[in-house]
Structures are given as structure tokens and as C-alpha cells.
Structure 1
């Protein structure tokens, strides 16, 4: 049968990420990507034989339903995997697993996608699957994930493997994609000249194939490279050529991105009227194809143009549109950042496990050799093995504890970046803007930006100064106070014997309890409420208290929302980890009062000097 290799640029476009890290290849035998889903489903209803024909239909159905119904897509592909295993169809199993990896990728479950594609490669290698382009497509997919997460060494390794296989079989279109992907990785690594070399190689092949879509994309990449070199005139000529080709072939994705880039260079060159024309045209195309990131870029450029022209009202309106779109993009960026940490953690764990297995194999080989030659040393060897086993148990306990620390730190970052808090804060800012209360909106936005930036800056720190933490806590309360129309009074009472600059505490350790006091105590109370935050110290501990006069736990905290309960549990876990590391008896006490609740948190006294 004939192979049909479809480059699924749609995946990148629907995610609205960098279109220049080109394609996930999908290779299907004996069917067309353009088949309608309802037609495929009809065939599946008629054809119930569990053989290769049904498996092909199921994989095709999974691909065609991947954006419309993700749950159905997994049902189809899982059945395809089961059938391929039942009939021992190795090629079909690899194809099915590759599609399953694509399903995970579209769902942004990148770790599962990588695991599934690696499993497909392992089966292809062990079962000697001879479809080299199928294997090349999987290497390309893995390269895309690693490039997305800036793991450039692994991305280059996979892209070059894809290029090597494509050159072996003489598939020029795959060569073009692999060369372009390698070029963009080098540009990201700031090896711009090397990236340009690969782009030019890809461009020559694309022109030889007369593939205008690829030509437009590669020329756009060359423009990006020369822009980084600050050769704006040459970059502008590439962008204009890319935009013209894209418009001729009606490729709105490339055209919109190129037009935004042209506008950006015109602003740098002081040509504001031309910049406005290109930004507005790019915005219209971005709206037609529903790419949020490029719409945001167009609004940001228009805001800059209007500001340069002195049109402050238009600039503010454009900037407001930019902020609204950018919020959803930044939310996705945070998910990617968290996934990147999880992915790096998993890779390190896999490498450590592989190293441990290698050491174990070496140990067994040495033991066999030693036993054959030196039987009389058996008792000594037994003692050494016993000691090593005991050490291995200790190392495993340490590793498990470090894993718990890493997982808790990731959860702590998630809890501080509470999506409900972010959404409500941005909604309040938007409300002030709609009411034309720009002064309050600006004050709210400044405080909110400062808090988010500080949280991200401190996300990798285990300890910060008490002075910094009190400032963050104060900023958080002020933001929540703005939302509650100044319903909250708060005071900080810090023992004079505490050196706030020198005393170190875990970041935002009190925030979940303050959140409880505000939203499950004071917010449900008639009239205004007060929160009193105190800090005292003894010889070895700092004791914090959060005291409110809200409605109390029976009324306010009877059923905590999931994210609030999670924040409290994560804080307790953080304290348990500190207790394990430092040998202190940390505690959290909740004391019900006649009116309100008092929380006491005890942590070890940690000094900077």
C-alpha cells in the first residue's frame, strides 16, 4: 500500500503557540485525512470484525474527532491499540500508539504523550518495524515536545534522528521540516548564524519542491533570525516576501504572524502610519483564524502606535484588549512552566533509576567473578553486600523524602497561583475599567502585578526574610480588601525582639489561613471585620497567629472549597517537611472564639546570619 504523510500543522495552530516549530507528522495507510468523521463512524458500525481494517478506521476516527470530542478520540484509539495487540499487528500497534500520543499532546498532557511515543519507538525497534517514515514522525513529535519545554539538547537529538531517517528514504518534505525545526532550535539557543544555515538549506529544498506554504514559513523564520541580529532592513524584506506568498496562497496563519512582525519593525523605524496599517490587517486575519496569541500581539502593537501618535484614549483601549487576551495566554504559560518542572523532575528520576540499574548490574558481575576466584572471601563479600543493602535503603528513604519535598514545592506554587484568585482579581480590574474608574483600576493592577511577580520570583526559594513575607502578605490583604470594598481592617503586631530583616520564613506560609479568615469569616459577616496578625519568638521558635472576628468555623468553614482546603493541607505538609529536616516540633492550632477564629503556626527560628 501507499504511504500518505500528513503534516499536522493544525495542532500547532489550534494551540496558538510558535508556528515556526513546524509539524507533528501523522502517517496513515490506506485512508485519507480528509474523510469525514460521520462517514468513518458509519463504516465502523457496519464493519465489526476486529482486524487491521477496523483498527485503521479507529485511528482515523481518533484523528478526526481529536478537537471535537477528546473523550471519543481516546475511546477510538484505545480500541485500535487493543485490536493491534490481539492480532499481533506490530505496525498497527506503533501507528495506534503514535495517535494516542497525539491525543495526549492536544490535551496538553505532555508527559503521557512522551511516554506513549517512547513506547511506540521501543516496539518498533524490538519488533523490527521497517516503516522508516513512521519512526521518523515519532522522533519529530518527541523533538517538538522537548523544544516546547526548552530542552534543546534532547530536541536536537530527536530532530537530527528524524532528518537522518528522512534523508535515507529520500523524503524531501520531511527533510524540509526537520531542517527548519533544527534551525529554529539554534536560533532559540542564540546560535543565529547556525540557524540561518539550516533555514537556507530548508528553503532550497522547499523551492525545489515548489511548496509555497513551506517557503512562506521558512522565509518568516529567516526574518525572525535577522531581527534578532538587529538587521532590520533585511528582516523587513523577508517578512514582506513571506506575507506576500502567504496571502497569495491564502495561508492566514503565516500571513498574520508576518504582518505583525512587519508592524513591529516599522515601529522600530519610526514609521507609525505604516505600522498601524499592518497591525490592523494582522488583527483582522488573527480574528478570522481565532489565534488568541497573535490577536494579543496585534493589540499590543496598536497600543504602541497610538501612544507614539499621542492618541492616549485609543492606546488605552488597545492595551486593555491586549491585557484581556494576554491573561489567558499567561495562564497557559504557567501550566507549561509547572509541567516543565514536572517533566525535568521525571527525566532526572529516570536517569537516576537507569544509573542505579547499571550500578546494580556491575555489582552482580563483580560478585560472580569474585566468587569464582575468591571463594574464601565469601564471608567478607556477604558483609559488604549487607552494608550496601542497608545503605541503599537509607538512600531510598532520602530519595523518597526529596521527592515529597519536590512535589510539595510544586503544589505550594500551584496553591499560591490560585486560579480563582487570579480570575476574580482580573474581573475586578475589568469592572473598574468599565466604570471608568481608571485610578482605582490602575492601583489594583499595580498591586496585583507586584504580588504575582513576587510569588513567581520566590517560587524557587525555600526561605525569605520575614520583612519580605510581611510585605507580600500585606499586599495580598490589600488586594482582597479592594474586592470587598474596604470591608477589612488589619493590623500587624511584630515582637520588637524579632529582627525582621534577618529572620527567615517559608514564603507566604500564612496566606491560606488569611484567605480562610477573609472569605469564610469576614466576607460572610455583616459589617466590617478585623484581622490581626502577630509574631512572637522564644529561644528556638517563631510563633505566628492569625486572629479574626468573623462568623467562625461553624458557619464559615464548615465546608471549605477544594482549593482552600488544599492550601491549608499543603501548608501543613510544608511544616511537616521542615519538622523532618530540622527536628523541630512545628504545629498548627485552630482555636474557636466567641466570634471568629484564631490560628497559631509555630516554625523554627531561622536566621540569615
Structure 2
């Protein structure tokens, strides 16, 4: 039976009786829905079915529930009508009903032959975004999305498959599955290129920018922006939330300390969100404005701005911005000696940070420790430093995983950027030709000639690239290996922080256990200075030799406090070395000094001597660490009698030296020499490639 005619009669009768413009539009949507339901089964191509299903999703937003229920009743057992009803429930946040409808539809569609895979892909997609917050989990979402991806691939509808890869990238990132996240983002990009969808190309590359910003690689993030900026300029009016992209651009410029550019793009974010009336995004914009002001040295304005972002984030329940704004405010308050106010603010918001691993928990706990230390609550300060240590380890594992994933895959980043450059050129030329074609027939002729010339140029360029491919192949491999090595170096530098802090906190703990509260307090103050330097240095590829020596002197001073100033320490620096210009990787010497103290001198009862000597030759900085401790043999025997503890500092540093040798080609390594025949006393020679500050 054909229900179309009586349904239209009812629709028009309603319009005549009510005469309401809004209702006219609603009933028009209902009529269109009827046409789509009746048309769907007659379609052969899955791409056409996909378009119908997308139109249905748009229509059900604006159909009254009574009209929709009436349609579903007349099209009972029709999958498309039931899908429309389930989507209505989803859009109106009736999660339980929507979930039940989607769950019932899937097995019924699977039982019918031939199987309608594109409808299955839409059903599973809708159910994957229907999980309410009360029972939300990334594990459930991933399981659902992978099932839907399989259906979508069976349907061979590229646009739907692209959507699945995009969402799988997000879910895997949030679940710390970085290898899979990079893989799905690459697939998202490839499908966007295949569909010639410039918006999706930019969105896929935006994710690459987010990854680079996450691991503080601002140079690569800005390189991505330089490539996609021409596409963005052409299509910016089509972006649903353009400020989300420009926020990442702002963040990259902040990380690279290009504050004028950061301020420009931050202002552009404010302008775009104001046009769209998107007050939720202002939380992000105000926060980044505060960071820019703080980096410019304007602490007073920065504090007011962070307060504004904090209050707006709290109002909008944006936990990420709330916790970050609180941390930045607290940092300024601590610098202004408003210790109690900083402590109260941090404690008020800690519960949010504690349950959200992604909210820079380690830095937040470190600020709490500093606030407790500043208010002379040393037990609490030590407690939160220990928690911060553990959180840093967890966050460093995430950073390491993401760095390795980027270094391994790099999204084929060099090739991707080359391809994208061509895409930009082609898109720009195409838009120009289309604009000219609207004027006169003569311009069409010129455009055709331009196409021929451009095609010839691209063919020529492709041939030239082909000729160079063999000669460039090895160089490309070397570049990718270098990226991977630098990523691993970044990771190892990050891992040195928690390792070093853990050992230092053990010293404080011993003072406290021995009731030496004054010594513990003095130690804690010095340790705070040392850790601040360590954290700052660990983010940098190189520090000056002077900075490294200052850090070493402070560390040895701390350890000497522990041994009641029993270590006779001497330092000799070759006068030919310009310590303010010579650059070395940070924290390279400290693990060997620590090893000399803890495993050589600590076991000795008297006359503890430690000598550091720095010299140079044409290509290297050489550091000798000499102690008169018990020697390697006796130390190994003592370790064998103690519970096993895996010390990572020396191993990490040795790996760093190996990687430095790979990058620079110059010798980098260590040499260990026993100083006496009976095995007492040790000399460690550390050889580092020399860099000079420009």
C-alpha cells in the first residue's frame, strides 16, 4: 500500500488549519522525510544511499515528535523510518531509547540479504556518539567504532570511512594508543585527498599540529601551518570552528617564543568566535592571551586574564581550561609571595586534576608542593613532590609513546608536505580560473591555456623529481632516522627528571627520619632551586657549559649536606674553554657524579674526595670525574648483597651518548678507569661533541 498520498493530505490539512510559518517548515520536512524513506530501497549505489541517510539526519532535527511517530507508525518494519526515529531520540538526548533502537536495528539489518552495509555503518556511527556521560568509556567507544569501520569499508563509501578514521584517531589519542592514533589520522588524510576535500585535509593536518605542539616541537607545527595556510585562506568561511585551528597556531607560536605572531592569531581567534557567538571557545582564547602576557613579562595583566579564563571555564564546566588557568594564576601568586592564596586556589581545584590524567597533573602537583613549601608545611610539600614524581613518569611515558609514534610514522610527513604543496597550488589555480571564467569567453580561453601550461609544468616537475629520486633516497632515509633519534633523545631527557628527583627526595626523607628538620628545610630550599633548573634544562636540547657546571655545583652541595660536608670537592676548568658559549646536552655529567658519590664515596668512612676537570680539543668537551671511593669491584659486591634496584641514570646517559654520536658523527662516549691496583678510586671520562653558541 502506498501511504504517501494520505500522508500528504494530512500534512496540508494541518497547514491550512494552523497557518503557522514554523509548522509549515516542520511539516515540509516531514513530507521530505516520507519521500526519502520511499526512495531509499530503490537506490542501487551505496554513495546515493549515504547521501539519503545524511539528509534524513538533518531533517529529523526539525520534525515534531508527533509527526515523526505518525510516519514511523505507517512505515512499520521499515529500517529507514526506524533509523530516523532512533536518531530523533539521540538528538534529543534520550540515550536509553536511542541505544535500544540502534541495538535492535543492527542484527535485523544483518539478517536481511543483501546486507545493507552503509545503513549498518550509519547505525553504528550514531550509536558510537550516543554513549551518555554516565557510562562513557573510551574502551566502549573504540570497540563500537572499529566494528562500524568494518561495515563502512564493506560499503565502499569513502566519505563514511574517512569519518570513522577521524574519530578513531581521537579515541586512540585519548586512550594513549599513539601508534594507532597516527595510523588513523594518516588514513583520514589519505581519504580527504582522495575525495579532494580541502576542509578534511586541513583538519587531518591540524591533528598533526596538535601532536607536534604536545611534544613541544613548535618548528614542525609551524611548518604544517605554513603548508595549510593557503588552503585555509581560500576556504576559511567553510570551517565549522576555524578558531580551533588558529588556537593550535597560537600555541605553536607561543612555544617558539614568537609572541607578536602568537598575539596576532590569538586576536583572530577572538574575532572569529565573536562572529560565530561561540562563548565556549573564549575560555581557550582568554587563557592563551594570559600566557602571551605572562611571557611578555606583564604579570599583573596576565593574572587578571587568567582569572577571567578561570571564571568563564568554571561557568562552562570546561575542566581543562579551569585547571590550567588555576595553575597559571597560582604560579604568579607564588612569585608575588601570595603563598596562602596560591595554596588555597590549588587545593580548591586539585580534585579535578587528580581525576584527569590529561590535565598536566604532574606540573599541578609540583606547584602544590612549592606552595606547601612556601607556607612551611614540609610534610605536605614532600608528599606532593613524591606524587608529582610519579605523575611525571606517567606523563613522560605518554610523551615518549607519542614521540616514537610520530618519529616512526611521521605521517610520511615530508611526502605529505610535498603533496600538500601541490594540492595548494592546484586548488589556488583552480579557484582563480573559476573566478575568471565568470567574466568573458575570452578569459575561458586564457584559463584553458593556463591549464595546459600548468599541466606541462607539473609533468616536467614530476619527471625531474623522478630523475632525482634515486640520488635523494638515501638522504631522505637519513633525515627520517635523524627525526627518530632526536625524538628518542627528547624522551630520554624527559626520563632523567623523575629519576634524578627520586634520588634527591630520598636524601630529604633521610633527614626527616633522623629528626633533622632544620637540615631537611635547608635541603628542601636548595633542592627546589636545583629542580627548577633541572626542569628548565630538560626541555632544551643544549645548555651552556656554565649552566651545566652551576647545576653540578648545586647538586654536589646538596649531596655534601647529606654527608655532613665530608666530601672534599674540587673543580678545574681549562682556561681556553668559553663556558658561556660552549654548549652540551643537559644533565649529561650529573648521573656520573651521582654514581661516584652514592656507589664510591658513600661506602667510604673518611677522606672522601671528588674532583671534576673540564678540558677541550677541536671537536670535543671532555669531563673527568675522579673519586677516591671503594672502586667498582667492591661496589658491585655490595650491590649484590642488597635488594635489587634498577638504576636508570647511567644507562639513559649512555644511550644519549650513542644517539649524539649518530647525529653529529663525532665521537661521544665514556671511558671508566680504575685508579689503583687494589681497585680503589675511579676515573670516568665523558667525551661530548662540542657545539658553540651563535
* Superposition TM-score tier, normalisation by shorter sequence: 0.5 to 0.7
Counterparts of 2:242 and 2:575 in 1: how far apart (Å)? 63
In the alignment, what sits opposite 2:504? 425
Counterparts of 1:157 and 1:607 in 2: how far apart (Å)? 31
In the alignment, what sits opposite 1:567? 652
1:601, CA displacement in angstroms?
3.5
Q: Compared with structure 1, are the counterparts of its residues 572 and 351 closer, same or farther at alpha carbon in structure 2 (3 Å cutoff)?
A: closer
1:101, CA displacement in angstroms?
1.1
Contact in 2 for aligned 1:263/1:276 (Cα 8 Å)? no
Counterparts of 2:293 and 2:552 in 1: how far apart (Å)? 45
1:405, CA displacement in angstroms?
6.3
Q: Compared with structure 1, are the counterparts of its residues 555 and 219 closer, same or farther at alpha carbon in structure 2 (3 Å cutoff)?
A: closer
Contact in 1 for aligned 2:592/2:650 (Cα 8 Å)? no
Equivalent residue runs for 1:474-493 within 5 Å? 474-480=553-559, 485=563, 489=567, 491-492=569-570
**Equivalent of 2:185 in 117, 136, 161:** 117
Task: Look up the SS of the partner of 1:438 in the other structure.
Answer: helix
Contact in 2 for aligned 1:239/1:261 (Cα 8 Å)? no
Q: Compared with structure 1, are the counterparts of its residues 164 and 120 closer, same or farther at alpha carbon in structure 2 (3 Å cutoff)?
A: same
**Equivalent of 2:630 in 544, 549, 569:** 549
Q: Compared with structure 1, are the counterparts of its residues 212 and 328 closer, same or farther at alpha carbon in structure 2 (3 Å cutoff)?
A: farther
Contact in 2 for aligned 1:246/1:252 (Cα 8 Å)? yes
Task: Look up the SS of the partner of 2:648 in the other structure.
Answer: helix
Task: Look up the SS of the partner of 2:658 in the other structure.
Answer: helix
Counterparts of 2:503 and 2:550 in 1: how far apart (Å)? 21
Task: Look up the SS of the partner of 1:588 in the other structure.
Answer: strand
1:123, CA displacement in angstroms?
1.2
Counterparts of 2:334 and 2:683 in 1: how far apart (Å)? 55
1:413 equivalenced with 2:493 (yes/no): yes
Deviations 1:299-327 (A, max 9, x none): 979999x99xxxx8589999999978887
Q: Compared with structure 1, are the counterparts of its residues 136 and 194 closer, same or farther at alpha carbon in structure 2 (3 Å cutoff)?
A: closer
Q: Compared with structure 1, are the counterparts of its residues 511 and 366 closer, same or farther at alpha carbon in structure 2 (3 Å cutoff)?
A: closer
Contact in 2 for aligned 1:537/1:543 (Cα 8 Å)? yes
Q: Compared with structure 1, are the counterparts of its residues 164 and 596 closer, same or farther at alpha carbon in structure 2 (3 Å cutoff)?
A: farther
Q: Compared with structure 1, are the counterparts of its residues 260 and 330 closer, same or farther at alpha carbon in structure 2 (3 Å cutoff)?
A: closer
Deviations 1:393-443 (A, max 9, x none): 87578658856864674466346x242222343565588689464223213
Unaligned runs of 5+ in 2: 1-52, 59-85, 423-456
Counterparts of 1:225 and 1:402 in 2: how far apart (Å)? 32
Counterparts of 1:399 and 1:420 in 2: how far apart (Å)? 31
1:501, CA displacement in angstroms?
3.3
Q: Compared with structure 1, are the counterparts of its residues 345 and 63 closer, same or farther at alpha carbon in structure 2 (3 Å cutoff)?
A: farther
Counterparts of 2:247 and 2:566 in 1: how far apart (Å)? 56
Q: Compared with structure 1, are the counterparts of its residues 111 and 530 closer, same or farther at alpha carbon in structure 2 (3 Å cutoff)?
A: farther
Deviations 1:437-470 (A, max 9, x none): 422321332344345545556x326xx65x7655
In the alignment, what sits opposite 2:463? 365
Q: Compared with structure 1, are the counterparts of its residues 126 and 597 closer, same or farther at alpha carbon in structure 2 (3 Å cutoff)?
A: farther
Counterparts of 2:655 and 2:383 in 1: how far apart (Å)? 36
1:449 equivalenced with 2:449 (yes/no): no
Counterparts of 2:326 and 2:589 in 1: how far apart (Å)? 48
Q: Compared with structure 1, are the counterparts of its residues 513 and 317 closer, same or farther at alpha carbon in structure 2 (3 Å cutoff)?
A: closer
1:99 equivalenced with 2:167 (yes/no): yes
Q: Compared with structure 1, are the counterparts of its residues 600 and 348 closer, same or farther at alpha carbon in structure 2 (3 Å cutoff)?
A: farther
Task: Look up the SS of the partner of 1:118 in the other structure.
Answer: helix
Q: Compared with structure 1, are the counterparts of its residues 55 and 353 closer, same or farther at alpha carbon in structure 2 (3 Å cutoff)?
A: closer
In the alignment, what sits opposite 2:153? 85
1:203 equivalenced with 2:203 (yes/no): no
**Structure showing greater Rg:** 2
**Equivalent of 2:542 in 440, 460, 471:** 460
1:284 equivalenced with 2:348 (yes/no): yes
Counterparts of 1:606 and 1:278 in 2: how far apart (Å)? 43
Contact in 2 for aligned 1:176/1:202 (Cα 8 Å)? yes
Counterparts of 1:216 and 1:426 in 2: how far apart (Å)? 37
Task: Look up the SS of the partner of 2:671 in the other structure.
Answer: strand
Task: Look up the SS of the partner of 1:441 in the other structure.
Answer: helix
Unaligned runs of 5+ in 1: 5-28, 369-384
Q: Compared with structure 1, are the counterparts of its residues 196 and 296 closer, same or farther at alpha carbon in structure 2 (3 Å cutoff)?
A: same
Contact in 2 for aligned 1:531/1:549 (Cα 8 Å)? no
Equivalent residue runs for 1:60-459 within 5 Å? 74=142, 77-107=145-175, 113-114=181-182, 116-127=184-195, 138=204, 141-142=207-208, 144-145=210-211, 149=216, 150=218, 151-152=221-222, 154-155=224-225, 167-168=237-238, 174=241, 189-191=259-261, 192=263, 195-196=266-267, 198-206=269-277, 213=280, 284=348, 287=351, 313=375, 350-351=413-414, 365=463, 395=475, 399=479, 406=486, 409-410=489-490, 413-414=493-494, 417-426=496-505, 429=508, 435=517, 437-453=520-536, 459=541
In the alignment, what sits opposite 2:577? 501
Q: Compared with structure 1, are the counterparts of its residues 519 and 59 closer, same or farther at alpha carbon in structure 2 (3 Å cutoff)?
A: farther
Task: Look up the SS of the partner of 1:561 in the other structure.
Answer: coil
1:577, CA displacement in angstroms?
4.8
Counterparts of 1:63 and 1:519 in 2: how far apart (Å)? 57
Contact in 1 for aligned 2:266/2:288 (Cα 8 Å)? no
Q: Compared with structure 1, are the counterparts of its residues 444 and 590 closer, same or farther at alpha carbon in structure 2 (3 Å cutoff)?
A: same
Counterparts of 1:469 and 1:264 in 2: how far apart (Å)? 25
1:120, CA displacement in angstroms?
0.8
Counterparts of 1:161 and 1:277 in 2: how far apart (Å)? 47
Q: TM-score, normalised by structure 1?
A: 0.59
1:489, CA displacement in angstroms?
3.7
1:102, CA displacement in angstroms?
0.8
Contact in 1 for aligned 2:182/2:411 (Cα 8 Å)? no
Q: How many pairs align?
A: 536
Q: Compared with structure 1, are the counterparts of its residues 574 and 72 closer, same or farther at alpha carbon in structure 2 (3 Å cutoff)?
A: same
Q: Compared with structure 1, are the counterparts of its residues 577 and 300 closer, same or farther at alpha carbon in structure 2 (3 Å cutoff)?
A: closer
Contact in 2 for aligned 1:216/1:245 (Cα 8 Å)? yes
In the alignment, what sits opposite 1:23? none
Contact in 2 for aligned 1:589/1:601 (Cα 8 Å)? yes
1:573, CA displacement in angstroms?
1.7
Q: TM-score, normalised by structure 2?
A: 0.53
